[in-house]
Amino acid sequence: MVRKFTFLLGFGAGYLLGARAGKERYRQVVDKADQIWHEPHVQQAAQKGAHAARNAVETVSATVSAKVAGTPDRDTDSEGSDGERSPVTE
């Protein structure tokens, strides 16, 4: 019983001290990340990345739309005159 109490007391003290140190260190990391994020060269890189992503989405969207528009409707074009499905060839 004494061992359990000693272990729990040590665990509690370690947790309390670690939590305080952890919170302070976390705050330091967050502040530094905020400083880096607001630097002009980081903002320029982020804007370039966002612009490149927008262009990629537009290109892919146009390509997919063109391919979908050129795809025959399978419900009407894949059936033969006798009503049975014909094999799809590409």
Q: Output the CA torsion 9→11→14→16 (10° steps).
A: -80
Measured CA to CA, the distance from residue 25 to residue 19 in angstroms comes to 10
Residue with structure tokens 């302070």? 24
11 has pLDDT over 90: no
Q: What is the pLDDT of residues 30-82, one digit of tens each?
A: 899 899 999 999 999 999 999 999 999 999 999 998 888 877 766 554 555 55
Torsional sign, CA 69, 71, 76, 77: positive
pTM: 0.47
Residue type at 19?
A
